Amino acid sequence: MKKPTSILACFVLAAAAHAAELAYEPFAYDAAAALTDLEGGSGWDFAWTQDGASCVVAADAMTYTDLSGSVLNVSGLAVQTTGAATTRSFRTLAGGIPVNDVWISFLYRLPATNNKFEGVSFYRGGTALFTVSSPSVDASSNIFLGIGSSGGTSSHKGSFGTTHLVVLHLSEGTGTGGTDKVEAYIDPLLGGNPSLPDASLQGNNLDFSSVRIAGQDGATLFVDELRIGESFADVTPHASGGNPDSDGDGLSDAEEAVLGLDPQTSNAALVAAIQAHPEYFDLHDAAGILAQDGGGVILQKTGNDPLSFTFEVQQSTDLIAWPVLETFTRLITLPSDKEFLRVTLDTP
């Protein structure tokens, strides 16, 4: 007969994700230098080129600190589109190979209102695919995300004279009907992946191979810390500034950002309801999990290392002394997600 015995194992695992920074431009050049022919940073194919006037290196760097106090890593100076004519500066990724399924970040500051285009666009060959901009059709400080080089959809975020962190997530085939999708996050917390975009768009084949920074008729836009990587963490390296809980509901601001909640609005009542009545949400609390032991022993483990099970077969002649007859040890490779495992003993 086969019957459950002694062990119920509960595992909470974190799967390791391989990711990498693909390209980085810190604009570590001399102030006031024309951007054309400069070739610093990494992950690029040759130097910056121009179509029209060249962007120029700004006098100062740009910085970004999120609501939790975490500070983005920066180096070098910034670049600006200021000039007497329209500035268009391009740079191509290493090998000119188009990429998709990537994260992109850059710092963005619009000094003042005007009716000119200023923006950062992503190209494949001579085709503009998507753009983050202050379009000529809108004189507000709003940051827009659009197909091609159009204005597109407003994020309803952005302030004149303020440095914003723009993070884009380009994902292949995740849009309607298998189209590609670009999601824009403005000023996200740096401690974890953001969940609710401030603007999004969809389009066919948005693989890009080059970046353009442009300002119409020399209108000024400041850009800095341009990064392209395989994960959110790749494009937001930072120094932690603590883990505040602005609304005091037990969830940190960073945790609320990941969940798409407002760090300034308390969710304490909902948290308390879930804790008091997990059954309403088809959840098990700690006591409920421990109650699944079936008279056996609960083993809890956190991590992704193999779990070592050791079994002893004992013998006795008087039911008092139980010396070990044989010992069996086996390493169990853990699943990559949350699992509940139970060991059964098959006896004749």
| CATH code for position 180 | 2.60.120.200
Q: Are residues 142 and 125 in the same domain?
A: yes
One domain for residues 10 and 44: no
Rounded CA separation 317/232 (Å): 64
- Give the phi and the psi of residue 263 in degrees, each rounded to 5: -60, -15
**pLDDT value at position 341?**
65
CA dihedral 285, 286, 288, 292 (to 10 degrees): 140
Residues 190 and 328 in one domain: no
Q: How many domains does the chain have?
A: 2
Range(s) of the domain holding residue 282: 2-14+277-346
Residues 97 and 174 in one domain: yes
Whether residue 159 sits in one domain with residue 40: yes
Q: Residue 239, Cβ neighbours under 10 Å: how many?
A: 11
**Is 283 found in the same domain as 317?**
yes
Assess whether 196 and 331 both reside in one domain.
no
Measured distance CA(127)–CA(130) in Å, rounded: 9
22: left (phi over 0), alpha (psi -120 to 50) or beta: alpha
How far is it, in rounded angstroms, from Cα 227 to Cα 165? 11
Instruction: Note whether 129 and 95 are same-domain residues.
Output: yes
The predicted model scores a pTM of 0.68
pLDDT of residue 11: 38
Contact at 8 Å (CB) between 7 and 342? yes
Judge contact between 151 and 172, C-beta under 8 A: no
**Whether residue 321 sits in one domain with residue 191:** no
Asked, for residue 118, whether it belongs to a domain, the answer is yes
DSSP state of 286: H
61 shares its domain with 202: yes
- Helix, strand or coil for residue 241? coil
Based on the fold, state whether residues 62 and 118 are members of the same structural domain.
Answer: yes
Domain termination residue (choose one: 239, 267, 298): 239
Instruction: Of 9, 31, 77, 345, give the one whose Cα is nearest residue 224.
Output: 77
* Per-residue pLDDT tens digits of the chain, which is 348 residues long: 444 444 444 433 333 344 689 999 999 999 999 999 999 999 999 999 999 999 999 999 999 999 888 999 999 999 999 988 999 999 999 999 999 999 999 999 999 999 999 999 999 999 999 999 999 999 999 999 999 988 899 999 999 999 999 999 999 999 999 999 999 999 999 988 998 999 999 999 999 999 999 999 999 999 999 999 999 999 999 998 766 777 767 787 777 777 878 877 888 788 778 877 887 887 876 667 666 666 666 555 555 566 666 777 888 888 888 888 888 777 776 666 555 666 666 666
